[in-house]
Chains A and B, each alone.
Chain A
Amino acid sequence: MSVLIIAEHDNQQLNPATLHAVTAAAKLGEVHVLVAGSGAAAVADAVKQVAGVGKVLRAEAAHYAEGLAEELAPLVARLATDYRYIAATATAFGKNLLPRVAALLDAPQVSDLTEVVDGQTFVRPIYAGNAFETVQSDAEKLVLTVRATAFDAAAASGGNAEVLETEATPAQNLSRFVSRELTQSERPELTQAKIVVSGGRALGSAEKFNEVLTPLADVLGAAIGATRAAVDAEYAPNDAQVGQTGKVVAPQLYIAAGISGAIQHTAGMQDSKVIVAINKDPEAPIFNIADYGIVGDLFEVVPQLVGELKKVV
């Protein structure tokens, strides 16, 4: 029983998020990876070196360039004939594409799975991570999106898979790519970062958010996250949102500054190895899940913390 994984990339580089799906899929059978794109030879080269990948299928067409679901879904559905499982990482790309594939295949989808129990049994979070359901299916085909933080990344080297060209499907022309604006950042990518520093509404303004959190992130080499409230108030860009409707992170260290700890936020960070909370309200729910807490004014505590960290790191 083999698994087809859809690689996420920008035609230049493989998104490391895909490596987590490889690890989950390896529990189900032989892993093949589809690289569909335009001028994406370098991506196929990178994928063939990923440990655990048996074959790379490469489809080239101009209409695959922007990763549009309308164009990719018919290709994946055609290739799916040879696979029992179709999988991708539960990123914006995977979430957008895979349900469209599932419907074309008339197959059920298990979203955001956190555990592969066996070939028919999977665990996934529901109700913002307040419960986990174990689902079972003997369906002929199953579509899966994988929660990256629940599986280690497969090694990016050590593999030597064969690359096979596969014919492109015709252009659908239902939708047209117009533009893309990416947040520019020198920092590690939020979902891959080992340390994440996050701020909430208590920061008060975009200026304060940056003034307080940037030195802390700098000294730790951390990514910066935010609550929905901080994003809505435009203290931080939308793609920095951590939580049920934003990104799910599980870094080694998560520092929550001025974050109360609403369930919609903790859904996105409660699997962090060590959680630190800095909040002036000793009753804030974030202290119920924090390994270390400081009750105090973040505008005083965070600069002190930066000073102390500079002495040791």
Chain B
Amino acid sequence: MKALVAVKRVVDYNVKVRVKADGSDVDIGNVKMSMNPFDEIAVEEAVRLKEAGKVSEIVAVSLGEKKCEETLRTALAMGADRAIHVETDAKLEPLAVAKMLKTIADKEQPQLLLLGKQAIDDDANQTAQMLAALLNAPQATFASKVSIGDGEVTVSREIDGGEETLALKLPAVISTDLRLNEPRFVKLPNIMAAKKKPLEKLTPADLGADTAARLRVVKVSEPKARQAGVKVADAAELVAKLKNEAKVI
């Protein structure tokens, strides 16, 4: 079966972003960008399913600026077979992304659609669920274990009190949690080989998509800063402070 994996280019998770002085956005000029960590896990899972003989072809998709090509090359180096880049400079909301992925899925007919549970820039946690709704497909969000059976896929998912397991009819949409797998380190020969793999270019117009923002960002601001407090000498002093000064015990 075919698997479709959606990947996003985001500010590297180690970067501490700063808000621009004019409050219009965060400043991401000249900061390190990389594949969203949850999407790396999605690619890894697809590749493992291919290695296990369950998946025959992996199509990686990314939507956004020209440099998303690099993110797709990374996915190809990890083991995806081909890539689709929907190039646009528009800032895409999850609903717009889900609609474009739906159009691509209608054409490609994947049985498995793998996405990260959230992008670490907008922290929205919406796209996979929206895509599942548009496809009228079942969803398993926050997946920690995926096993493909006959005509269905069994997924364990992380929930607030522990874990639950669902069986989904195929085609199905799965969003990955951190504990699903440990993504592989990409080796140089694979990076070289990835340069030769097919990468198709599309535009939102090709997909008949409207990329207009439905939510207007009015302002981006710094979080309320917490001040460093005091260091205390020992446990006795700490307990005295918590009791008499902070009054929290």
Contact = CB atoms under 8 A, between A and B. Distances in A.
B235 A301 contact: yes
Contacts of B19: 131
Nearest to A70: B138
B223 A130 contact: yes
Given A112-B123, A175-B169, A135 B164 contact: no
Interface in A102-161: 102-104, 106-112, 121, 125-137, 139
A254 B228 CA distance: 15
Nearest to B19: A131
B107 interface: no
Contact of B239 (A129, A178, A288, A308): A308
A96 B215 CA distance: 21
Interface string A287-313: 111111111100001001101110111
A102 B126 contact: yes
A68 B172 CA distance: 14
B130 A99 contact: yes
Interface of A is mostly: mixed
B66 to A, nearest CB: 23
Contact of B214 (A137, A237, A238, A287): A137
Nearest to B248: A253
Q: Which of B132, B134, B236 has the most CB of A within 10 A?
A: B132
Interface string B133-167: 11011111110100000000010001111111111
Contacts of A309: 239, 249
A7 to B, nearest CB: 15
B177 to A, nearest CB: 8
Contact of A308 (B214, B218, B233, B238): B238
B178 to A, nearest CB: 6
Contacts of A131: 17, 19, 26, 220-223
Given A175-B166, A305-B235, A111 B125 contact: yes
Q: Which of A111, A275, A282 has the most CB of B within 10 A?
A: A111
Contacts of B117: 245
A93 interface: yes
Contacts of B136: 174
A312 B243 contact: yes
Contacts of A245: 117-118, 177-178
B216 A177 contact: no
A75 interface: no
The 7 closest A-B pairs by CB, nearest first: A99-B129, A103-B133, A291-B229, A103-B130, A174-B138, A304-B235, A99-B126
6 contacts: A103-B133, A111-B126, A175-B172, A273-B248, A292-B238, A313-B249
Given A99-B126, A305-B239, 15 more contacts: A70-B139, A92-B160, A95-B125, A99-B94, A99-B130, A108-B93, A109-B95, A109-B124, A111-B125, A180-B163, A220-B249, A232-B179, A238-B179, A289-B228, A293-B231
